[in-house]
Structure formats: C-alpha cells, structure tokens
Amino acid sequence: MAAEATPLNIWAPAPCDTVEDLQAAMIALQAVDSSLLLAAPAAPTLPEYNENATLAACLQQVQHCIQQMQYNHTGEKWFTLRKDRGISGVLSMVRRGQFAQRQREHMHPPLCRGGTSWRKRFPYSV
C-alpha cells in the first residue's frame, strides 16, 4: 500500500532538498495563487470630499479609506518607513506606493528557500 503524500504546508514549509521538493512547492504555490479564497482585495478608493460636507464627515471618509486597507495581522513588517524624513518625504513615500515593491521582495525568498537560512548546492542539468 503506497503511503499517502503529505500535503505541503506553505505556512511552515519544509526545506527543499531535492528537485521534487522544489517542484511540489511550486505546484502548491500555484494552487494558492489560483485559489479563489486568496483573490486580491479591491483597491481602496480615495475619498471624494464633498465641498458642503463638514470636516468631521471628511475625516470619517479618511478613516473609512484606512479601514479598507485592513489590518496586517501577519506579524510581518512589509513596509520600511523612515520617520526621520520631513513631511515631503513622508508624503512622497505614500504617493509613490513603494509598499507593493517591498512586499514582493519579502514574499518570495522564504518560500523558495524553505524558510532555512542555509543553501545546499547540487548539480542539476536538463
């Protein structure tokens, strides 16, 4: 009786020692990407302030926009913000949306390396 394949836990991946492990990890990653549960949330809409609205109402719209972003429960620090920059630096940082780039940089290396801090080299040819 053949042993059942252990499902890959992408949240705590095992080290990828062989090509098969790496392929299995890639397949699991593709499955996650195509999952409906992880569909990208809608981008938040910037508040459109009404000229006749009160300041408190406008600030309520600001709060709504912030809440659309949702709280980051992952414990991972995606963004690198420098608080020592002046107001112009802070504003340009938000405007340019550097956050997305930082997220991509952080996402892939741990998954590809299986969460290990070392690398094992082996010959491979196709």
Q: Which of residues 61-80 bind another protein (CB under 8 A)?
A: 62-63, 65-74, 78-79
How far is 110 from 118, CA to CA, in rounded Å?
11
- Pick from 15, 22, 99, 106 the residue near another protein by CB under 8 A: 99
Instruction: Tell me which stretch binds another protein (CB under 8 A): 12-20, 21-29, 52-60, 107-115.
Output: 52-60
Residue 126 burial (CB < 10 Å; 0-12/13-18/19+)? exposed
Q: Is 38 in the site for another protein (CB under 8 A)?
A: no
Contact 78, 99 (CB under 8 A): yes
**Is residue 52 at the binding interface for another protein, with CB under 8 A as the rule?**
no
In angstroms, the CA 115 to CA 109 distance is 8
List of residues 6+ apart from 38 with CB closer than 8 A? 32
Q: In the complex with another protein, which residue's Cβ is closer, 7 or 97? A: 97
Residue 81 interacts with another protein (CB under 8 A): yes or no: yes
- Contact between 49 and another protein by CB under 8 A: the answer reads yes
Residue found under tokens 């920059």: 85
Q: Which residue has the tokens 């408190």?
A: 56
**Which residues are near another protein by CB under 8 A?**
40-44, 46-47, 49, 51, 55-56, 58-59, 62-63, 65-74, 78-79, 81, 83-91, 93-95, 97, 99-100, 103
